């Protein structure tokens, strides 16, 4: 078994949407998703990508306004009679006012649409920046700075949804001692195929943060049950995962088969929880679960005072 190291992860920024994490260096025309505030090449402060896109929109609106002004001015200059001058000035003022009213009322919608277009236009630059971040990760790994490598990969992972990124993160995480107070992830790391390193990580996570076991994880375990059973202590691992599923009634209902199959590997405290859940939900078609749970309790915990009278 390899030696794990104790680390304290850098707090990740909380944002409602992933794109809010992107920062741009206007001078170098690069993008950045890590925690630095200044560009390492030109030392200029990064600007949030929304602001950069808003500036593009602002310039576009200004150009349209100037064009409108130009037409109105030319119309005034080309007027040959006083009536024409008066009409040109009046209509011109009306148009300018209308322009401002329209802009004020609907301008915000244009900003959002422009942001989407902006991302499409900057696709290559964004990909290049992510590639650069991945090169930084590679350099960190070579330098033995696994913590930095993980933190950087975690930030990239908010944007790039690939097995490569997930497996890299899992491999980095398997170098660390996991603790309750850590900001750990599980659902976002599930690879599309069976992965042994992920199972090793899952084994550790279930011990410290069982609340991270959700539907996607349970589905994964159910799908690759045969492979997991080939692992050392595979039954115990599925038992722990099944135990974590006992947090919610909906999971108990949906994963009854898994719980029943690995009921012998449920830790005592989880079995007690299951017994209490069955007692509280007697009328919910849990007869089979009741039967197996009762059997396990009678066999192993018949004299345990905590189980007395529960089932």
Partner 1 sequence: MLTYFLLFAAFLLLAVRFFKLLRLKRRNLSAAEIDQHLHRLLNEKRNQP
CB nearer to partner 1: pick between 162 and 285 = 162
Q: Give least dist CB 211 to partner 1, A.
A: 25
Residue in 29, 59, 64, 223 binding partner 1, rule: CB under 8 A? 64
Residue 271 structure tokens? 């079995």
The rounded distance, in Å, linking the Cα atoms of 92 and 216 is 61
125 is a contact residue toward partner 1 (CB under 8 A): no
From residue 267, alpha-carbon distances to 2, 219, 236, 300, 303 in Å are: 25, 21, 9, 11, 16
The rounded distance, in Å, linking the Cα atoms of 279 and 272 is 11
Listed ranges 124-132, 211-219, 245-253, 303-311: which one lies at the site for partner 1 (CB under 8 A):
124-132
Residue 279, helix vs strand vs coil: helix
Residue 308 structure tokens? 């007395």
The rounded distance, in Å, linking the Cα atoms of 255 and 12 is 33
CB nearer to partner 1: pick between 157 and 234 = 157
51 is a contact residue toward partner 1 (CB under 8 A): no
The alpha carbon dihedral of 246, 247, 249, 250 has a sign of: negative
Q: Give least dist CB 213 to partner 1, A.
A: 25
Listed ranges 128-136, 174-182, 268-276, 284-292: which one lies at the site for partner 1 (CB under 8 A):
128-136
CB nearer to partner 1: pick between 76 and 310 = 76
238 is a contact residue toward partner 1 (CB under 8 A): no
**Could you tell me how many residues of this chain bind partner 1 (CB under 8 A)?**
50
Taking alpha carbons only, the member of 43, 282, 14, 20 closest to residue 159 is 20
Q: Give least dist CB 110 to partner 1, A.
A: 6
Residue 89 structure tokens? 């000035």
Residues 6-25 that bind partner 1 (CB under 8 A): 16-19
Listed ranges 99-107, 262-270, 272-280, 292-300: which one lies at the site for partner 1 (CB under 8 A):
99-107
Q: Give least dist CB 104 to partner 1, A.
A: 11
Residue in 88, 228, 238, 277 binding partner 1, rule: CB under 8 A? 88
Q: Give least dist CB 182 to partner 1, A.
A: 26
Residue in 4, 27, 38, 71 binding partner 1, rule: CB under 8 A? 71
* Contact assessment for residue 171 and residue 138, using Cβ atoms and an 8 Å cutoff: no
Residue 24, helix vs strand vs coil: strand
* Contact assessment for residue 217 and residue 225, using Cβ atoms and an 8 Å cutoff: no
Q: State the alpha helices, DSSP H only, in the chain.
A: 49-78, 82-121, 123-142, 146-157, 163-173, 196-208, 215-223, 225-229, 234-244, 249-254, 256-261, 268-280, 287-300
139 is a contact residue toward partner 1 (CB under 8 A): no
CB nearer to partner 1: pick between 57 and 240 = 57
CB nearer to partner 1: pick between 37 and 120 = 120
Residue 175, helix vs strand vs coil: coil
Judged by the rule CB under 8 A, the positions of this chain that interact with partner 1 are 16-19, 64, 67-68, 71-72, 74-76, 78-80, 84, 87-88, 91-92, 95, 98-99, 102-103, 105-107, 109-110, 112-113, 115-116, 119-120, 123, 126-127, 130-131, 134, 156, 159-165
């Amino acid at each position: 078994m390899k030696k794990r190291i104790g680390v304290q992860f850098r707090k990740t920024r909380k944002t409602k949407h992933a794109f809010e994490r992107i920062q741009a260096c206007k001078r170098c025309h690069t993008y950045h998703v890590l925690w630095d505030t200044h560009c390492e090449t030109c030392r200029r402060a990064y600007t949030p990508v929304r602001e950069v896109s808003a500036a593009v929109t602002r310039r576009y609106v200004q150009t349209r306004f100037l064009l409108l002004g130009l037409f109105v001015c030319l119309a005034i200059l080309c007027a040959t009679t006083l009536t024409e001058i008066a009409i040109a000035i009046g209509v011109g003022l009306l148009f300018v006012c209308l322009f401002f009213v329209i802009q004020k009322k609907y301008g915000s919608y244009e900003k959002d649409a422009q942001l989407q277009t902006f991302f499409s236009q900057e696709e290559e630059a964004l990909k290049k920046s992510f590639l650069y971040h991945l090169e930084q990760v590679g350099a960190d790994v070579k330098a033995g700075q696994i913590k930095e490598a993980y933190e950087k990969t975690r930030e990239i992972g908010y944007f790039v949804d690939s097995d490569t990124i997930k497996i890299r993160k899992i491999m980095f995480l398997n170098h660390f001692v996991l603790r309750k107070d850590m900001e750990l992830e599980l659902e976002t790391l599930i690879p599309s195929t069976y992965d042994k390193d992920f199972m090793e990580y899952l084994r550790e996570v279930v011990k410290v943060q069982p609340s991270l076991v959700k539907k996607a994880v349970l589905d994964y375990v159910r799908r690759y049950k045969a492979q997991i059973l080939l692992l050392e202590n595979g039954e115990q691992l599925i038992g722990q995962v099944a135990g974590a599923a006992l947090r919610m009634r909906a999971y108990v209902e949906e994963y009854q088969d898994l719980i029943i199959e690995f009921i012998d590997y449920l830790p005592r405290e989880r079995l007690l929880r299951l017994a209490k859940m069955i007692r509280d939900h007697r009328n919910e078609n849990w007869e089979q679960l009741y039967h197996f749970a009762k059997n396990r309790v009678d066999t192993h915990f018949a004299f345990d005072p905590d189980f007395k009278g529960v089932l």
